[in-house]
Amino acid sequence: MLRGLARAAAQRYGAPRPRGCGSGAGVPVHQVDLRSDTVTKPGPAMRRAMAEAVVGDDDYEMQIPGPRTYTAARQGTPVTGVRVKVSGSPSRRKEGALWTGLPVPSSLPSAELQEKAAKLLGVERTLFVPTNTMANLISVMGHCQRRGSQLLLGQECHLHVYEQGGVAQIAGVHSHPLPDLPHGTLDLAELERMVTRGLGSPYHPVCELICLENTHSSSGGRVLPIDYLRQVHRLAQSYGVRVHLDGARLMNAAVALRVSPARIVEHCDSVSLCFSKGLGAPVGALVGGPKDFIEGAWRLRKALGGGMRQAGVLAAAALVGLADAEEVLLRDHQNAQRFARGLQELASPICSVDVAAVETNMVMVTVDGLAPEELCRRLRAVSAAEVAQTGRAVRVLLFPWSERSVRAVWHRDVSAQDTELALRKWEFVLRQLGP
């Protein structure tokens, strides 16, 4: 029964098949997966780095920001320093050796990643965590330490829609969603009205945090202007409110704006960064902010089950993803824009795209006169007619985004050739549907 359910789900959502699988017409099928940039797979260099990574228990060997004083085991001797794992059986350990003042070995990829990321983002410290969802939740919990605190955010932002309401069910934080403007921004006057509503009022929750998302996924990867970020941060500071930036695709925003990530992050109090989207790592994210905030984040990571053991293999992948981020993401953006222009040139009454709105690696396609689910099904299917007319068999994987749109997302596993093949497949499907 479970196998049948899994098969049905795969058929419905377009589970990927290996490139080169048969079309039924004797022609290999070329597959282009545009469902999300989360489908990226580690390349040879990333796999090699993972295989050769130095490993160490990240949970034990985590360098806690700032000096801490602990009591040495079995001696009661105060020791200032950081916690490191001691090898050997208990009988072979010297008394008092459980806590030492030694620094974390610099060879650990997780320590290297956190140090490099802190410099890249222009923050004091960062913390490696399993997912960006956890990074966002940790950040909200770190800023909103009173139950019932209010979080202001966009009604279509990822944190509000796609993270299972964790800020409510786990953190006890009340979210108040505001309407998103087309660019993924929030109306500043409405934002200020909601920030001030709880001041001195026993009837309303007190706003502690504003969350922004950059790039804005539901708006098609739109980039928040730096001047807007500056205005939001200035408004928040005037009322003692913090700003968290969901920067899952922060590197895309930096590439699109042609600025360093630090230029964007300077206008917020904490930030998250995901490695398993356009950067191509299999897993991992970061929380960044002041060192006292990251100290609290370390404790929250532990409470949420995010403390990792041999995390070196994961951090090594993230380091490789960061190394070529600018080159890869720029290519993704160019391929997305090339596709958008090509689709617009088809001048189909069924599918249209706002080319000017394609700022990063996403293309939002408006669909008229056809259910988006049906369009996705036709793009996924391969037929003898396609092979006969085009000489190729191409499968394009997409998700319906709304009742009138589909979203296509470019990533490092989609080349310029893949982009052209996807466009030609789209053209074939639209031609089959008629004028």
Of 197, 183, 193, 191, residue with least CA distance to 210: 191
Q: Comparing 13-41+326-433 with 56-60+105-310, is the CATH topology the same? A: no
A 10 A CB-CB count for 363 gives 24
Residues 6+ away with beta carbon under 8 Å from 150 = 173, 174, 175, 176, 198, 204, 205, 206, 207, 208, 209
Residues 6+ away with beta carbon under 8 Å from 307 = 58, 59, 62, 301
Residue type, 356: A
Q: What is the 3-state secondary structure (H, E, C) of 231-286?
A: HHHHHHHHCCCEEEEEECCHHHHHHHHCCCHHHHHCCCCEEEEECCCCCCCCCCEE
**Measured between alpha carbons, how far is 344 from 118 in angstroms, rounded to an integer?**
41
Tell me, rounded to whole angstroms, the distance of Cα 371 from its chain centroid.
Answer: 28
A 10 A CB-CB count for 78 gives 10
- Structure token digits, residue 63: 């360098």
Residues 6+ away with beta carbon under 8 Å from 248 = 132, 158, 213, 217, 272, 273, 274, 277, 285
What pLDDT score was predicted for residue 25?
A: 56
Residues 6+ away with beta carbon under 8 Å from 10 = none
What pLDDT score was predicted for residue 317?
A: 97
- Structure token digits, residue 58: 């990240």
**Measured between alpha carbons, how far is 126 from 119 in angstroms, rounded to an integer?**
9
First to last CA, the chain: 43
**Measured between alpha carbons, how far is 431 from 435 in angstroms, rounded to an integer?**
7
Residues 355 and 337: beta-carbon distance below 8 Å: yes
**Measured between alpha carbons, how far is 397 from 381 in angstroms, rounded to an integer?**
9
CATH number of 13-41+326-433: 3.90.1150.10
CATH architecture assignment, domain 56-60+105-310 = 3-Layer(aba) Sandwich (3.40)
Element (DSSP H or E) covering residue 405: strand 405-409
Q: Considering the entire predicted model, what is its pTM?
A: 0.85
- Structure token digits, residue 4: 């049948």
What pLDDT score was predicted for residue 200?
A: 86
A 10 A CB-CB count for 327 gives 11
What pLDDT score was predicted for residue 2?
A: 35
Helices (H), 306-350: 312-323, 325-345
Mark the ranges of the chain whose per-residue pLDDT is less than 50: 1-13, 15-21, 63-106
What are the structural domain ranges in the chain?
Answer: 13-41+326-433, 56-60+105-310, 64-103
What pLDDT score was predicted for residue 109?
A: 87
DSSP 37-91: GGG----HHHHHHHHH----BHHHH---SS--EEEPTTT--EEESB--PPPS-GG
